[in-house]
Amino acid sequence: MSGVLVIAEHRQGALREATLECLGAALALGGEATTLLLADAPDALAGEITGRTHGLKLYAHPDLAAFNPELYLPVVMDAVKALQPSLVLMPHSSQGMDLAPALAGRLGLPLVTDCTGLSWNDGALSVQRAVYGGKAMQELALKPAATVVATLQAGAYQAAPAGAAETASESVTLTELAPRHARRFLEYLAGVVEDVDIAEADILVSVGRGIGGPDNIPQAQALADALGATLSCSRPVADAGWLPKSRQVGTSGKTVRPKIYLALGISGAFQHQAGMKNSGTIIAVNSDPRAPIFQVAHYGIVADLFEVLPKLSERFGG
């Protein structure tokens, strides 16, 4: 193995958290991790990456302020040819889904997308992926290849910690880029948040099917208000219309990473765990001691949530 090359992602002048998660995965795989950062002013973004990667290559050009695959692709291809990494890794985002297939296709490399787990086995890459809307986990053992291109699902790995590696940086000023024929960046349009953005919450009170019905949602909301938390939910609650889709946690909802995640009446199927397993502290309340949520919870209460809810609301509301 000759290491992992991570393609950094940034948006509106800020490095995206998914890049640090890719670096966390790269360091977990062992070997050398090198990061490729293309931007108009890469030095301004380098501070967040330094200390989390062994090598950092900064490519600067005014036209790289926003992602454009026609400009990125030739630079990334040249870097892959020069470095010959065992794995080229990038976030499974709109950028990654655009760049990764084009890169693999141009260089004739194997491609695997939306990975939740990565490992080396006898020099070949093995991956885990969620399939059927997150209802099943697929494990793939790739044939040995000199280089593999992969995209990583958000929240699958913890971000690489600061100080995890000594970083050697190299800066390159690009005098010219590939001519753009089909695409040019116009503007960035942020997604519309329906009511609240649960991904930004420090504390989440999340309810599952065990809440029983929409008439019981106010009890959970009262606890959330007492804790200064945001109310979220599992997929069955959103599918039933008890809470809006914007509140859903999981592979078909949002990936969250709050300081505290309180799961009430949530069984904790894989697709839900994938969206919240990296929370700081996970507290689960469920009447079934065999519920999967207890496998990832730091603290668990085996009890009827309607016995626990009033006591918690009274304790924190008083």
* 42 pLDDT tier (thresholds 50, 70, 90): very high
Q: Can you tell me the distance from the alpha carbon of 7 to that of 22, in angstroms, rounded to the nearest whole number?
A: 9
Placement of tokens 């108009």 in the chain: 40
Average pLDDT over residues 242-268: 92
CA dihedral 129, 130, 136, 141 (to 10 degrees): -10
Paired strand residues for 283: 262, 299
Q: Do 127 and 157 contact (CB within 8 A), yes or no?
A: no
Residue 154 pLDDT: 83
Q: Do 36 and 146 contact (CB within 8 A), yes or no?
A: no
Using CB atoms within 10 Å of the CB of residue 289, give its burial: 0 to 12 exposed, 13 to 18 middle, 19+ buried. exposed
Degrees, nearest 5: CA angle 105-107-109: 70
Q: What is the pLDDT of residues 102-111, one digit of tens each?
A: 999 999 999 9
Percentage of the chain beyond pLDDT 90 is 73
* 174 pLDDT tier (thresholds 50, 70, 90): confident
Strand duo 14-15 + 10-11: pairing: antiparallel
Q: What is the pLDDT of residues 178-216, one digit of tens each?
A: 776 677 778 877 766 567 889 889 999 999 999 999 999
Percent of residues in the chain assigned helix, strand, coil, to nearest 5: 35, 30, 40
- What is the crossing angle of helices 305-317 and 217-227, to 10°? 30
| Domains and their CATH numbers in the chain | 4-173 (3.40.50.620), 198-317 (3.40.50.1220)
Residue 2 has pLDDT above 90, yes or no: no
pTM more than 0.85? no
Element spanning 95, H or E: helix 94-107
Residue 49 has pLDDT above 90, yes or no: yes
User: Integer distance in angstroms from the first to the last C-alpha of the chain?
Assistant: 58
Placement of tokens 């062994």 in the chain: 54
Higher pLDDT among residues 300 and 176, named by residue: 300
Q: Do 87 and 5 contact (CB within 8 A), yes or no?
A: yes
Beta strands in 142-185 (DSSP E): 148-152, 168-173
Q: What region does 188 belong to: left with phi over 0, alpha with psi -120 to 50, or beta? A: beta
Using CB atoms within 10 Å of the CB of residue 35, give its burial: 0 to 12 exposed, 13 to 18 middle, 19+ buried. buried
Q: Can you tell me the distance from the alpha carbon of 314 to that of 212, in angstroms, rounded to the nearest whole number?
A: 21
Paired strand residues for 302: 286
